[in-house]
Structure 1
Amino acid sequence: MRLSERYRRGLFITVFLAAPVLLYLVYVIAPYVQAFYISMTDWRGVSASPTFVGLDNFRRLLSDGVFWKAVTHNGLLLVLLPLITIVIALFFAFLLNVGGAKGTEGIKGSGFYRVVFFFPQVLAVAVVAVLFQQVFRPDGSGMLNGPLMALGLEPVGFLSNPNIAFWSVLGVMVWQAVGFYVVLFSAGLASIPRDLFEAAQIDGAGRVSLFFRVTLPLLWDTVQVAWVYLGILALDVFAIVWVMTDQHGGPDYSTTVMAAEIYRNAFQYFRFGYASALGVVMFFFTVGFAFLSLRLSRRERIEY
């Protein structure tokens, strides 16, 4: 009887898992396998039988200056976007939840501020890109350059100056991402018993000690997850760069990223084999980053 119940339970689980597993194999794993194969061909997207070229596409990547610019920009985003976003989000989340007069509660109106911080998340990425195109306009109608020109100063080429354009893109990405992580860290802080903060204050802990000795250790798992998500966002960024910047990654490829070069090579130059090789490289970058981040930031879990 016991074996029969176990068999029926296993059959029930198998039947319900079969459909999602099949869909995952067809729509996720199969395209990955196909991309690996296409990356070793000289396919232009129109011929029925791609020409197999082995590792030639990957050898071309090593001497492609635009590819290395894209890798450099993704690498900078990989370090700076998570770091800046998490620092700002932790600061505001701490203020909203523990920054009140008593030191164990949020500031007045913290619920309203959470809504304000989260607002950029409800905007589509393309809308954000078009919005900041207008903010960064190099003439008097630009939100930033307008006041500068009214004061008699020269306008700043936020998106037209190769030395500034990348940092403008980074600023927009941080602006859009911070709100979500303020809410995420606020949820983590809300789950920490207030008794811990009160006990730390009784022991003489100030605001800085309260943050580094109580808040951050208890939020470490949440910070770890946020770092991985932001790192994947930094590697997978496309829409902001493609819509907002001049020449879709310009000027002079000063803001281009790997995702933009994949799209450019596939749908403008019709080099689908080369674009797939870029995609394979980005796949390994993403998997490697996630593995290393989870591995290096792992620490003993604190129970409370």
Structure 2
Amino acid sequence: MQHGKYRFIVGFLAAPMAIYALFVIWPFIQSIYYSFTDWTGLSPEFKMVGFKNFERLFSDEIFWKSLQHSLLFVLLLPLVTLGLALFFAFMLNVGGRHRKESAISGVRGSSFYKIAYFFPQVLSIAIVSLLFAFAYNPNSGAINSALQAVGLDSVQPEWLGDPNLALWCVMAVLVWSTVGFFVVLFSAGMASIPKDFYEAALLDGASRVTTFFRITLPLLWDTVQSGWVYMGILALGAESFAVVHIMTVGPGGPDYSTTVLPLLVYQKAFRDGQAAYATTIGVALLVVTLAFAAVVMRLGRRERLEY
């Protein structure tokens, strides 16, 4: 009986695992292999060069600047995005507890707010990037026009043209475009928490802050941890690449102030014809991503709470 069960499991998983190995694992292995060559990406001919690409990587100032920006993304974006999402979700589900018809409820108009917060998810990241690129325009953009309308004519930043502001502008767009997804995700998790817990805390005189940290956050911790890893992968992957590539000058400018690792991989492979060096940067990006996921899963490990 047991033998038949294991044969069924193996037979059921064989095809999906083969597809995963072919389209996910094998490209990783190829990338690692090509990082030890001088392949240009344009010619089928290449030769092994050993660790020369990695030696070049460690002495490349643009790589270190890009790595710094990517690490800033992966540290701050999950913190800000998930923090805002938890706050909004808590207010939409529990924050309006003083309403007469129910001791525990969301703020008035919470259904509308959920739709409003989720709306950016309907738009593609390319559309969002284009819209904000127009909004950040220092001459005719909506942001500087609004500042001028309220009498702040002297405050007219260059936004994406200022090396000190450009990276923060890009990060703000990523937060705006992703926070709604996590609001809905956390709202679904909070809806599954028994109302009795909140009502008991309310009778004991607990404040909103105490209720959040003593009830909501511990019971949502697994969801928050998964969201943290997911948001970190987005910050290190396609989302950051798309926003920087579409919004910034260069792209990656001014003066490499917004260059991130995925963009650098793209530029080296398709602009400069240095595919082998691009795969070397990709290997470094893989190491950073795996290290980030491992650290989050390790530091976020705690006893699972049942309810």
**TM-score, L = length of structure 2:** 0.94
SS of the aligned residue for 2:104 comes to coil
* Number of the residue aligned with 1:37: 33
SS of the aligned residue for 2:304 comes to coil
* Number of the residue aligned with 1:153: 154
Alignment of 1:245-264 (within 5 A): 245-264=248-267
Q: Distance in 1 between matches of 2:18 and 2:192?
A: 38
* Number of the residue aligned with 1:231: 232
Pair 1:207-2:208 in alignment: yes
* Number of the residue aligned with 2:133: 133
* Number of the residue aligned with 2:245: 242
* Number of the residue aligned with 2:64: 68
Alignment of 1:102-181 (within 5 A): 102=98, 104-139=104-139, 141-150=140-149, 151=151, 152-181=153-182
Change (3 A) 1:18 1:45: same
Pair 1:54-2:50 in alignment: yes
* Number of the residue aligned with 1:293: 296
* Deviations 1:225-280, CA, capped at 9 Å, x for gaps: 11111111111121000011111111110001000000000000000010000000
* 1:295 shift after superposition: 0.6
Q: Which moved more, 1:210-219 or 1:141-150?
A: 141-150
Structure 2 residue aligned with 1:21, among 17, 22, 28?
A: 17
Q: Distance in 2 between matches of 1:101 and 1:45?
A: 60
What is the percent sequence identity of the aligned residues?
A: 52
* Deviations 1:127-168, CA, capped at 9 Å, x for gaps: 1110101110110x2101113345333521110000000000
SS of the aligned residue for 1:238 comes to helix
Q: Distance in 2 between matches of 1:247 and 1:57?
A: 24
* Number of the residue aligned with 1:265: 268
Q: Distance in 2 between matches of 1:232 and 1:134?
A: 27
Q: Distance in 1 between matches of 2:189 and 2:294?
A: 23
* 1:13 shift after superposition: 3.4
Q: Distance in 2 between matches of 1:185 and 1:120?
A: 17
* Number of the residue aligned with 1:192: 193
Which one-letter code corresponds to 2:72 in the other structure? L
Q: Distance in 2 between matches of 1:107 and 1:115?
A: 14
* 1:90 shift after superposition: 0.9
Q: Distance in 2 between matches of 1:14 and 1:213?
A: 43
Q: Distance in 2 between matches of 1:20 and 1:226?
A: 25
Supply the RMSD in Å over aligned alpha carbons: 1.4
**TM-score, L = length of structure 1:** 0.95
SS of the aligned residue for 1:144 comes to helix
Q: Distance in 1 between matches of 2:90 and 2:43?
A: 57
* Deviations 1:190-241, CA, capped at 9 Å, x for gaps: 0100000011111121111111111111111111111111111111121000
Structure 2 residue aligned with 1:86, among 75, 82, 88?
A: 82
SS of the aligned residue for 1:173 comes to helix
* 1:47 shift after superposition: 2.6
Q: Distance in 1 between matches of 2:125 and 2:28?
A: 25
Q: Distance in 2 between matches of 1:28 and 1:49?
A: 24
Question: Can you give the 5+ residue segments of structure 2 that lack an aligned partner in the other structure?
Answer: none
How many residues align? The count is 299
Structure 1 stretches of 4+ moved >6 Å: none
Q: Distance in 1 between matches of 2:113 and 2:146?
A: 27
* Deviations 1:155-186, CA, capped at 9 Å, x for gaps: 21110000000000011111011101111111
Question: Can you give the 5+ residue segments of structure 1 that lack an aligned partner in the other structure?
Answer: none
SS of the aligned residue for 2:156 comes to coil
